[in-house]
Amino acid sequence: MRHFLSLKDFTKKEILEMIDIASEIKNELKAGRETPFLKNQSLGMIFEKSSTRTRVSFEVGMYQLGGQALFLSSNDIQLGRGEPMKDTARVISRMVDMVMIRTYEQSKLEEFAKYSKVPVINGLTDDYHPVQLMADYLTMLEFGFGEKSKVAYIGDGNNMTHSWMMLASKLGFELRIATPKGYEVKEQMVLDAQKFAKESGARIIYTNDPHAAIKDADIVTTDVWASMGQESEQKQREKDFAGFTIDKKMMNLASKNAKLLHCLPVHRNEEVTEEVFEENADIIFAEAENRLHVQKGIMVWLDRYRK
């Protein structure tokens, strides 16, 4: 049995297998054919943070695979009143077939997985957002990008950045990361990415200069400056991130056909201007839709693996 806690636990081959399954299931859906690969299965979805995309995509995805999903907000279950993660895991995993968790520390997710009888999927932690990156890569492929593309991430060194580092270092593409001083990615992530990059040939560049990072990039991406749980730092971050807004002028430094990806929700005129965001709305909302398709691929892969 495998869990989906971080992309660092998967080989390139496995990542691409999940993407392939997702593409096939997506094509079937678009052709009006059913894909009941998880018939009668249940997915428990534990949320300790808010969500629009993750909740809707997992819930609908599970339904389309012939199963059902249970939305479990930590406000409503005993976890929110102090029942330990390991007990929650031992109870819920005896009743459902798979679990998705959105929480704060990666260690809480790992603790759940350690005590779970069924596969556990990371629906976002402070450290990683791997299902989002799978959707981002599927979208890149659909729009004609891939391993040869150069990706520039401009913004906070956060869960999205770490996940980009894992994807790039596993698949072997070039990633340039520009963060303001003091908002760099975690040191351990740099070491992990270095290790994987040695094998894949990925090039990962770290800088505090967004202009250097974006030059000739094929894909430009960013994320909010203050993530969930950092709301009290918003004002300070707005000051510290001066010069990091992706505007038309900055975007013009990227390659001619460059596109912007954004995991959403976006803070318009903070990390990206309204103008640049709307010009890329096509790919960005395709990226959001791909959460549905790619997570079906991940769940089917995890289910096949345990059989």
Q: Which positions are annotated as active-site residues?
A: 102, 129, 132, 223, 263, 291
Q: Binder to ligand NVA among 88, 116, 158, 273 (CB under 6 A)?
A: 158
Are β-strands 203-207 and 259-262 bridged in parallel, bridged antiparallel, or unpaired?
A: unpaired
127 sits near ligand NVA (criterion: CB under 6 A): no
Partners of 70 in the beta sheet?
A: 44
59 binds, among ligand NVA, ligand CP, none (CB under 5 to 8 A by kind): none
CB-nearer residue toward ligand NVA: 16 or 60 = 60
266 sits near ligand NVA (criterion: CB under 6 A): no
160 binds, among ligand NVA, ligand CP, none (CB under 5 to 8 A by kind): ligand NVA
In the complex, the smallest distance separating the C-beta of residue 159 from ligand CP, rounded to whole angstroms, is 10
CB-nearer residue toward ligand NVA: 160 or 167 = 160
Where does this chain touch ligand NVA (CB under 6 A) — which range of 27-35, 93-101, 158-166, 235-243? 158-166
Other CB atoms closer than 10 Å to residue 78's CB: what's the count?
A: 12
121 sits near ligand NVA (criterion: CB under 6 A): no
Residue whose C-beta lies closest to ligand NVA:
227
224 binds, among ligand NVA, ligand CP, none (CB under 5 to 8 A by kind): ligand NVA
CB-nearer residue toward ligand NVA: 88 or 125 = 125
165 sits near ligand NVA (criterion: CB under 6 A): no
CB-nearer residue toward ligand CP: 45 or 118 = 45
159 sits near ligand NVA (criterion: CB under 6 A): yes
219-238 residues in contact with ligand NVA (CB under 6 A) are: 223-224, 227-228
161 sits near ligand NVA (criterion: CB under 6 A): no
Where does this chain touch ligand NVA (CB under 6 A) — which range of 37-45, 80-88, 157-165, 280-288? 157-165
3-state secondary structure the chain: CCCECCHHHCCHHHHHHHHHHHHHHHHHHHCCCCCCCCCCCEEEEEECCCCCHHHHHHHHHHHHCCCEEEEEECCCCHHHHCCCHHHHHHHHCCCCCEEEEECCCHHHHHHHHHHCCCCEEECCCCCCCHHHHHHHHHHHHHCCCCCCCEEEEECCCCHHHHHHHHHHHHHCCEEEEECCCCCCCCHHHHHHHHHHHHHHCCEEEEECCHHHHHCCCCEEEECCCCCCCCHHHHHHHHHHCCCCCECHHHHCCCCCCCEEEECCCCCECCCECHHHHHHCHHHHHHHHHHHHHHHHHHHHHHHHHHC
Binding site for ligand NVA (CB under 6 A): 124, 129, 158-160, 223-224, 227-228, 263
